[in-house]
Amino acid sequence: MDIIASLPVYAAVALLSYTLYGAIWRLYFSPVAKFPGPRLAALSFWYEFYYDVVKGGAYVFQIEKMHQIYGPIVRINPYELHINDTDLDFLSKLYPSIGKEVDKFWWSAGMFGNTEMTFGTIGHNLHKMRRAAFAKFLSPAYIRKLEPLLKDLVSSMITKIEAGLKEGRTINLVHAYSALTQDVITEYCFSFSRKCLEKENFAPHYYEWMQIHCTFTPIIKQLPWLLPMLNKLPDWWVKRTDDAVWLIRMQEAEYLAQVRAVMSGDDKDKTSHITIFHEILNEPLLPPSEKTEMRMKAEATSLVGAGTLTSAHMLSLTTYFVLSNHEIHKKLSDELGVAMPDPASSPSQQVFESLPYLNAVLDEGLRLSYGSMHRLSRSHPKDTLQYRDWIIPPGTPVGYSAYTLHRNPEVFPEPEKFKPERWLNLAPADRQHLRAHLNNFGRGSRQCVGMRLAYAELYLTLGYLFRRLGSKVQLQDTEYERDVAFLQDYFIPAPSRQSKGVRVVMKLDASEATT
Q: Which residues of the chain have pLDDT under 50?
A: 1, 269, 512-515
Identify the pLDDT of residue 21. Answer: 54
448 assigned ligand-binding residue:
yes
Identify the pLDDT of residue 266. Answer: 61
Q: What share of the chain is helix, strand, coil (3-state, %, to 5)?
A: 60, 5, 35
**DSSP 3-state of 377:** strand
Identify the pLDDT of residue 41. Answer: 92
Check: CB of residue 399 under 8 Å from CB of residue 77: no
- Identify the burial level of 398 via C-beta atoms within 10 angstroms of its C-beta, where 0-12 means exposed, 13-18 middle and 19 or more buried: buried
Task: Give every CB contact of residue 114 below 8 A, 6+ residues apart in sequence.
Answer: 120, 298
- Segment holding 361, helix H or strand E: helix 356-369
Complete edge-to-edge strand list for the sheet that includes strand 473-475: 171-172, 503-506, 473-475
CA distances from 509 to 289, 473, 474 (A): 61, 10, 10
What DSSP designation does 50 have?
Answer: I
**DSSP 3-state of 284:** coil
CA angle 246, 252, 256 (to 5 degrees): 145
Give DSSP secondary structure letters for 76-134: -SSS-EEE----HHHHHHHS-SSSS--EEPHHHHTTTS-S-STTT--SHHHHHHHHHTT
Identify the pLDDT of residue 73. Answer: 97
Give the residue among 92, 25, 30, 101 at the shortest CA–CA distance from 387.
92
Bridge partners of residue 398, in order along the sequence: 81, 378
CA angle 417, 328, 464 (to 5 degrees): 120
Identify the pLDDT of residue 11. Answer: 61
Identify the pLDDT of residue 22. Answer: 64
Separation CA 197–CA 182 (nearest Å)? 9
Task: Give every CB contact of residue 339 below 8 A, 6+ residues apart in sequence.
Answer: 347, 351, 352, 354, 355, 463
Domain coordinates in residue numbering, the chain: 79-512
- Strands in 402-487 per DSSP E: 473-475
Separation CA 129–CA 133 (nearest Å)? 7
Separation CA 147–CA 167 (nearest Å)? 31
The count of other CB atoms within 10 Å of the CB of residue 484 is: 24
Task: Give every CB contact of residue 130 below 8 A, 6+ residues apart in sequence.
Answer: 118, 121, 286, 290
Backbone angles phi, psi at 219, to 5 degrees: -70, -45
Bridge partners of residue 376, in order along the sequence: 400
Bridge partners of residue 83, in order along the sequence: 73
Separation CA 58–CA 293 (nearest Å)? 35
Tally DSSP H helices, then E strands, for the chain. 23, 12
Separation CA 400–CA 496 (nearest Å)? 23
Identify the pLDDT of residue 351. Answer: 97
Q: Is the dihedral of CA 359, 420, 177, 253 positive or negative?
A: positive
Tell me which of 3.40.1010.10, 3.10.310.10, 2.40.110.20, 1.10.630.10 is the CATH number of domain 79-512: 1.10.630.10
| R_g (Cα) of the chain, nearest Å | 24
Identify the pLDDT of residue 275. Answer: 83
pTM for this model (two decimals): 0.91
CA distances from 61 to 48, 94, 147, 399, 487 (A): 11, 22, 39, 15, 9
